[in-house]
Structure formats: C-alpha cells, structure tokens
C-alpha cells in the first residue's frame, strides 16, 4: 500500500519531530495511520516490523523514504488502551492472561534479527482489540547491538529502566524491567516505588532489579517463572471446590455413629473433619508459590508453546493426587478416633 492511495482526513499530532495523521483508503474502505518523521529519525525498526506477522504487534504496511525523513503507513487500532482496561477490577486469571500476551509480544520483538528493544513499554502503548492486546508506538525503539555506547535518555519515567537514563546502553533486559512495572500496576494500580503488589511479588522484584544482571536475562526466562501460575485458573478452582464438597459429604456421612457418641468424641470428629478440609485448602493457596520454583517451573514451556490443554491436564493430575492424599488422611484420622 502506497501513501498516495490514502486521503488524509485528520491530523492527530504535529511537532518538529513527527506528524501523525488519520487517512482513508477509498478502495478498501478502511482507516489507516500515517506517520511522518524528521530526517534524524531511523527507519530500520519500521522496516523490520513491516516483515513481522506477530498478531500482537501493530501492522506496518509501508515505509517510504522522503526528502526530509521518512513516512510510515500502519493499521488503525480500534479498541481500548490497556491503561483504561486496567482501571477496572479484574480477577487473577484475567490479569495472568493479559500479562502472558505482553510477554509473547516482547518475546517476538526480542527474537527478531537483530532484536528490537521497544524502550517505552507502558500501558498507554498497548491497545486491547478484538484480536487481543497489540503493541504500537515504536518511535524510540531501536535494533539491539551488543557493542554500543550509553543510551540516550528515552522512555517514560517510572516505567523506563535505570540504564535508559543514559548511563549505560539498553538491551532486552531494559524491556523486562518495564514489564515488571506493568505487572505491578496491573495487580495493584501503582508503580512499585509507591506500592508493591502481593500477587506475583517475587517475579516483579526480580524484573525491576537496578542491576540488569540481577533481572531475568530473557523474556523466556520470565515466562518460565510466570506461566506456572496459570494452574490457578478458575476451571481448576471449580474442580477443586467440587471435589472438596464431595469429600466433605463422604466424611459427614461416615461421621454419623451407630450409637449416641460421647461429647468429646463428637468434638474430636468435627475437628478431624475441619482439618481434612482446611489443610488442603491452605496447601492449595500455597500452590502458586510452590509452582514458581523447581522442579515444577520446568513445565512452563507448555504454556509458551500454547499447549494450554496439556498444562490444564497436568494441573488436574496434581489436584487429584492431593485429594487422594487428604482422603487417605481423613480415613486415618477416623480410624484413630474410632
């Protein structure tokens, strides 16, 4: 698609560095976005992105060199900014799925040759659309080269990694820092410097270490730490609650004595019943913490490869193994109290 096929209908932004305009294509009857950049801007990133087929990255249709810079034709994203979506309350599975989409997008950028560092990952640069979350605004992005000097000051205060202040060169770990900040804001609505989320605390802390060497060294490593927590999806919680109700009913039936029981026997039996229910619930609450660590974290590759059914099956096996153990515990307690 060429720029001369479009009719400019509205100017969204204009300054000394760039122009952003809405344009209409009467042939395909669609709205597009035209960006014109000054001569100092670099078109390499947009040329790379024009070859990208990742659904979570804005589509680039044309990159044209001009006398005083270059222009880009990209898709118009119809949806809701992630920053707006985050203002509403969301359940943990929704937060988990949203952040997994962000990780897949960042992973696609970092796997390009050469890798692309976005350098301005923040909720305002993600759009929630019908096809999922989409990343846009690559104006300060650049290809990553290992031998580089200090970065220029780019990014958004609060989301930008410390090295982006110009003291060291930025690399893919700079985007990982920003992802950790986004996760914290997704969970509690605040930057980590103001309030730290209790949900995914260890993951967020490692993402936002000041020294890049102390962070996750790749998005894939971050996925390995984050993806196992998908075991807490609501479908599995429903299975667990149903199984607990079944165990509770069986125990209640078995707890009825043939002869009237002494008061202390009734009290002990009820204590055994409550322990049989409360102990597995407590361990289930700790499951998220346990699955973040080896050996369970090795199953995270299933989530990365999109094998969600295999991951759900694995979680279900763990659930029923727990139920068998606690049913056995209940029988043993009942035998001791008989």
Percentage, residues of the chain above pLDDT 70: 63
Range of 98's domain? 80-229
Q: Is the pLDDT of residue 157 over 70?
A: yes
State whether 25 and 95 are in the same domain: no
State whether 128 and 168 are in the same domain: yes
Q: Is the pLDDT of residue 11 over 50?
A: yes
Asked whether 17 and 93 are in contact (CB, 8 A), the reply is no
* Residue found under tokens 């102390």: 214
State whether 265 and 329 are in the same domain: yes
Of residues 292 and 130, more confidently modeled: 130
Q: Is the pLDDT of residue 299 over 50?
A: no
Of residues 107 and 269, more confidently modeled: 107
Closest CA to 176 of 143, 207, 134: 207
- Please say which residue of 229, 250, 267 terminates a domain: 229
- 48: domain CATH number? 3.30.200.20
pLDDT of residue 72: 94
State whether 175 and 43 are in the same domain: no
Interval 256-262 mean pLDDT: 54
Interval 56-72 mean pLDDT: 91
pLDDT tier at 261, thresholds 50, 70, 90: low
Average pLDDT of the chain, as a whole number: 79
State whether 159 and 254 are in the same domain: no
State whether 28 and 86 are in the same domain: no
Of residues 304 and 106, more confidently modeled: 106
Highest mean pLDDT among 52-66, 136-150, 257-271, 285-299: 52-66
State whether 245 and 183 are in the same domain: no
Asked whether 249 and 277 are in contact (CB, 8 A), the reply is no
Which region among 133-147, 184-198, 267-281, 291-305 has the lowest average model confidence (pLDDT)?
291-305
**pLDDT tens for each residue of 21-60:** 999 999 999 999 999 998 656 789 999 999 999 999 999 9
- Please say which residue of 229, 259, 284 terminates a domain: 229
Q: Is the pLDDT of residue 220 over 80?
A: yes
State whether 249 and 133 are in the same domain: no
State whether 129 and 250 are in the same domain: no
State whether 99 and 153 are in the same domain: yes
Q: Which two tokens stand for residue 50?
A: 């024009």
State whether 218 and 84 are in the same domain: yes
Closest CA to 76 of 89, 59, 100: 59
> CA 315 to CA 129: how far, in whole Å?
30
Total domains present in the chain: 3
State whether 65 and 84 are in the same domain: no
> CA 167 to CA 210: how far, in whole Å?
12
pLDDT of residue 24: 94
Alpha-helical (H) ranges within 189-307 are 201-207, 219-226, 234-254, 263-285, 287-291, 300-304
- Please say which residue of 177, 210, 229 terminates a domain: 229
**pLDDT tens for each residue of 113-147:** 999 999 999 999 999 999 999 999 998 888 876 65
């Amino acid at each position: 698609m060429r720029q001369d096929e479009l009719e400019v209908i509205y100017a969204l932004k204009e300054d000394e560095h760039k122009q952003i305009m809405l344009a209409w294509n009467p042939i395909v009857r669609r709205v597009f976005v035209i960006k014109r950049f000054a001569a100092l801007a670099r078109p390499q990133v947009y040329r790379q992105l024009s070859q990208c087929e990742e659904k979570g990255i804005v589509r680039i249709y044309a990159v044209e060199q001009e006398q005083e810079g270059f222009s880009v034709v990209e898709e118009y994203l119809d949806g809701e900014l992630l920053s707006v979506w985050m203002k509403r309350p969301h359940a943990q599975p929704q937060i988990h799925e949203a952040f997994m989409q962000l990780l897949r997008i960042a992973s696609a950028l970092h796997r390009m040759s050469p890798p692309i560092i976005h350098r301005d990952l923040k909720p305002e640069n993600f759009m929630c659309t019908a096809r999922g979350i989409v990343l846009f605004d690559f104006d300060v992005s650049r290809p990553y080269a290992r031998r580089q000097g200090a970065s220029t000051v780019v990014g958004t205060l609060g989301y930008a990694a410390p090295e982006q202040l110009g003291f060291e060169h930025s690399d893919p770990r700079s985007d990982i820092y920003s992802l950790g900040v986004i996760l914290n804001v997704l969970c509690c609505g605040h930057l980590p410097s103001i309030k730290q989320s209790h949900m995914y605390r260890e993951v967020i802390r490692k993402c936002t270490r000041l020294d890049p060497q102390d962070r996750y060294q790749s998005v894939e490593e971050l996925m390995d730490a984050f993806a196992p927590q998908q075991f807490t999806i609501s479908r599995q919680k429903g299975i667990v609650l149903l199984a607990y109700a079944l165990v509770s009913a069986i125990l209640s039936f078995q707890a009825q004595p043939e002869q009237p029981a002494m008061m202390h026997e009734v009290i002990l039996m009820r204590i055994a019943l409550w322990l049989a229910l409360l102990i597995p619930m407590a361990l289930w609450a700790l499951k998220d913490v346990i699955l973040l660590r080896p050996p369970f974290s090795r199953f995270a590759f299933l989530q990365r490869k999109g094998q969600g059914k295999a991951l759900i099956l694995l979680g279900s096996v763990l659930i029923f193994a727990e139920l068998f153990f606690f049913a056995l515990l209940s029988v043993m307690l009942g035998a001791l109290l008989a």
